[in-house]
């Protein structure tokens, strides 16, 4: 099957290409879903980035092996994350057995450090990591990723009532952690700080925004530090989040020159102001269709271009 514009293909079309052996389809599918998968897995694991990398890799291997049996009755992302959660839970069980047997002193010390008494400052990831694994998983899926309890029940193989109960307990524990003193909740843009805190203490009404599903980058909806009293005691300072990597001072029309693989074709486009999205006679997109430009690189260009076009000229 031929995909004239892979980045515009839906997940089912890309999956069909993957099954047909099209590596470019896999690259696009991976770029589209890997950020959210990693974000969920690393939180379920309590913040262990090294282990999360291994789990994500194993998740993709298992997903590709089972792709032919996927019936598309649910979203591909939900199916993929369900596999990732199962792999993460297996990793947690192995970790528990290892710690119980005392065979991994390094990891034991690392875990002790992670759950040390909280001082005056705690970031969102550490607060979530302090929760028991089952409660943490439901909290991540519901309050951060936005899944409904019915979806969570299907992903975790539990009843809806169990999911709701675990969420209630997770929120209560998180309130206890944050109320230990003055807490500064920090994290990268789109990490779910405001959404989570709105759930932990209803009535905060902190501004939230959508997370880019393709690259997992936020919309900087918290634009100034706000100090708020918590019902259970203590204070919360919600701070703005920023992406780890951003573009500053780049004109959207000049972004294409930042991609070396685009340069051989830039002067050949029919229109001098071509931005390589939908214009006729675009030589960059033609090169993409011929396989001379990596689809994941074009995906990055398109995402950055959209961000630059929609970026505010000044903080509001």
Per residue in 66-100, pLDDT (tens digit) is 999 999 988 999 999 999 999 999 999 888 776 55
- Residue 205's CB is within 10 A of a number of other CB atoms, namely 8
Phi and psi angles of residue 7, each rounded to the nearest 5 degrees, phi first: -65, -20
Q: What is the pLDDT of residues 5-16, one digit of tens each?
A: 677 789 999 999
Domains of the chain: 181-245 (no CATH), 252-310 (1.10.40.50)
Q: How many Cα atoms are found within 13 Å in the side-chain-facing hemisphere of 118? A: 22
pTM, two decimal places: 0.61
Check residues 277 and 107 and name the one with the higher pLDDT.
Answer: 277
- 227 φ/ψ angles, rounded to the nearest 5 degrees: -100, 125
Q: Any idea which residue has 């696009």 for tokens?
A: 28
Is-contact 51 104, C-beta < 8 A?
Answer: no
pLDDT tens digit sequence for 180-224: 655 555 555 555 666 677 776 766 655 444 433 333 434 444 444
């Amino acid at each position: 099957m031929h995909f004239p514009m892979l980045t515009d293909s839906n997940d089912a079309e890309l999956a069909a290409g993957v099954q047909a052996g099209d590596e470019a389809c896999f690259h696009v599918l991976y770029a589209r879903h890997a950020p959210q998968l990693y974000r969920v897995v690393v939180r379920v694991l309590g913040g262990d980035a090294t282990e999360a990398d291994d789990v994500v890799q194993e998740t993709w291997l298992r997903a590709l092996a089972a792709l032919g049996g996927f019936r598309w009755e649910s979203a591909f992302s939900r199916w993929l994350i369900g596999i990732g959660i199962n792999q993460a839970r297996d990793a947690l069980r192995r970790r528990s057995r290892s710690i119980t047997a005392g065979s991994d002193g390094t990891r034991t010390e690392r875990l002790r450090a992670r759950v040390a008494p909280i001082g005056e400052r705690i970031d969102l990831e550490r607060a979530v990591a302090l929760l028991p694994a089952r409660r943490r998983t439901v909290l991540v899926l519901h309050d951060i990723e936005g899944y409904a309890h019915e979806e969570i029940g299907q992903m975790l193989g539990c009843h809806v009532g169990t999911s709701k109960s675990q969420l209630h307990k997770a929120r209560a524990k998180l309130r206890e952690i944050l109320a230990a003193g003055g807490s500064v909740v920090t994290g990268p843009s789109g990490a779910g700080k405001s959404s989570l805190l709105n759930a932990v203490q209803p009535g905060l009404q902190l501004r939230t925004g959508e997370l880019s599903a393709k690259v997992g980058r936020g919309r900087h909806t918290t634009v100034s530090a706000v100090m708020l009293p918590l019902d259970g005691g203590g204070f919360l300072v919600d701070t703005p989040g920023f992406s780890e990597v951003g573009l500053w001072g780049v004109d959207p029309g000049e972004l294409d020159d930042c991609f070396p693989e685009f340069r051989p074709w830039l002067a050949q486009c029919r229109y001098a102001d071509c931005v390589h999205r939908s214009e006729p006679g675009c030589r960059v997109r033609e090169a993409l269709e011929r396989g001379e430009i990596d689809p994941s690189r074009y995906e990055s260009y398109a995402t950055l271009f959209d961000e630059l076009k929609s970026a505010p000229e000044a903080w509001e």
